[in-house]
């Protein structure tokens, strides 16, 4: 297996770098590199810049506006955008709902929603988790009852990421209590401004308003907003989760974090010597790097497969487990590398315009935020324990 880039791939990489140098706003990349919080406008502007260049929908078929890139090009683009400090594209419409619509949606739904995802007209959020249905998603209670040309939806969703910005939500709802729990679920597309919807913020441990509760009180949803067939939503939900889990692997971002950790190791001192020369730190760093290299190769194998993520099966679960474990290991070792400088957490230092004297090195401010925020990643998208069960069942037949 030749892991070197071809001349064509080097030319593509240079094209991506030139684009990033010309188009990525310095004000946004400075925030990303400094670990500061992004605004909706920051995320919208990068979405629009990529769409204008035709590089937004890397995982879509060309006929719907996708890039047509091969696996290596996708990996190069991910690596280069992360290294340049580009924001992570909000995935809910682009990388999660769109594949479901392309495979299972009606022609009317494709024609209406896909262009609006590309041009930013619609900001989607995800209505999966409920207070009593997270990893055991099939136990969800939100009901949708048919009433003529509408479904009447009642219930509650939680942990709705960036739902405060969304004008649309894709929802799993229970439309039948017959048979197995998975057999009575449907997949609905709902306007967030429909009467009866209430959004309440959940403030995370590190002070961020990132997730929300969403309540549905007799919300009327037109039947044409049903994706696929009634009571078949579990199939579409699993297909969407395959894309979500692959995206969670976040190979490019983990590579950037690893290089940042190496920089900290060379900068911080232990008994007058660079930390990176400490045998225990060096061993931990090497372990993470080996696991990251192996995951990047697995990710490339998945992207290169003829059916790509559509038939990823347990490989997306493997990527989800390993990607989240590597991310948490990077967060933990970074925190340990900074020692006492990782202890103070000044939330205001992550906002634009904060100009007080930093506590310790300037890269210390976001370390605690990243550590605490990323405690969640081994849980969402289906907990890692659930993923291990999927792998065991599908690969080992147990």
- pLDDT tens digit string along 245-279? 777 778 889 999 999 999 999 999 988 999 999 99
User: How far, in Å, CA of 206 to CA of 371, rounded?
Assistant: 9
User: How far, in Å, CA of 67 to CA of 55, rounded?
Assistant: 6
Half-sphere exposure of 204 (CA within 13 A, CB side): 21
User: How far, in Å, CA of 325 to CA of 14, rounded?
Assistant: 31
- Main-chain phi, psi angles of 200, to 5 degrees: -125, 135
In 187-278, which residue ranges form alpha helices assigned H by DSSP?
233-248, 251-267
CA max distance for the chain: 76
Contact 135, 382 (CB under 8 A): yes
- pLDDT tens digit string along 274-305? 999 999 999 999 999 999 999 988 888 877 76
pLDDT of 311 > 60? The answer is no
Which position has the higher pLDDT, 154 or 364? 154
Q: Copy the structure tokens of residue 291.
A: 């696991």
Residues classed as catalytic: 244
Give me the chain's average pLDDT, please: 91
Q: Residue 314's pLDDT is what? A: 80
Q: Residue 22's pLDDT is what? A: 97
- Phi-psi map region of 35: left, alpha, beta (phi>0 left; psi -120 to 50 alpha): left
Contact 190, 169 (CB under 8 A): yes
What pTM was estimated for this model as a whole? 0.88
Query: pLDDT grade, residue 50 (50/70/90)?
Result: very high
């Amino acid at each position: 297996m030749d892991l070197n880039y071809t001349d064509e791939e080097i030319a593509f990489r240079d094209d991506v770098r030139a684009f990033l140098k010309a188009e990525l706003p310095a004000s946004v990349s400075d925030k990303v590199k400094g670990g500061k919080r992004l605004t909706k406008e920051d995320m919208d502007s990068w979405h629009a810049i990529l769409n204008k260049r035709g590089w937004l929908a890397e995982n879509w078929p060309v006929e719907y506006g996708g890039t047509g890139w091969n696996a290596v090009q996708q990996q190069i683009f991910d690596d280069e955008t992360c290294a340049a400090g580009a924001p992570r594209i909000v995935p809910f419409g682009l990388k999660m709902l769109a594949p479901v619509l392309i495979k299972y949606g009606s022609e009317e739904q494709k024609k209406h929603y896909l262009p609006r995802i590309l041009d930013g007209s619609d900001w989607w959020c995800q209505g999966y988790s409920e207070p009593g249905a997270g990893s055991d998603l099939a136990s969800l209670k939100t009901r949708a009852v048919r009433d003529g040309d509408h479904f009447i939806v009642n219930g509650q969703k939680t942990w709705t990421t960036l739902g405060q910005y969304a004008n649309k939500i894709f929802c799993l709802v229970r439309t039948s209590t017959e048979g197995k729990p998975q057999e009575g679920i449907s997949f609905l597309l709902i306007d967030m401004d429909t009467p009866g919807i209430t959004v309440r913020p959940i403030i995370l441990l590190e002070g961020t308003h990132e997730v929300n509760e969403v309540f549905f009180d007799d919300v009327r949803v037109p039947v044409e907003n049903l994706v696929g067939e009634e009571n078949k939503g579990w199939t579409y939900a699993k297909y969407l989760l395959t894309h979500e889990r692959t995206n969670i692997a976040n190979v490019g971002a983990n590579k950037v974090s690893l290089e940042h950790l190496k920089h900290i190791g060379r900068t911080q001192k232990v008994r007058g010597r660079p930390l990176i020369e400490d045998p225990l730190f060096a061993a931990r760093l090497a372990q993470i790097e080996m696991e990251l290299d192996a995951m990047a190769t697995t990710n490339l194998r998945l992207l290169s497969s003829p059916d790509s993520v559509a038939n990823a099966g347990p490989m997306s679960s493997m990527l989800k487990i390993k990607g989240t474990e590597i991310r948490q290991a990077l967060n933990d070792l970074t925190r340990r590398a900074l020692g006492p400088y990782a202890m103070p957490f000044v939330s205001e230092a992550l906002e634009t315009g904060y100009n007080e004297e930093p506590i310790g090195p300037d890269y210390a401010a976001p370390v605690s935020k990243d550590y605490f925020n990323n405690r969640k990643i081994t849980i969402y998208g289906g907990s890692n324990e659930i993923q291990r069960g999927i792998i065991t069942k599908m690969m080992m037949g147990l």
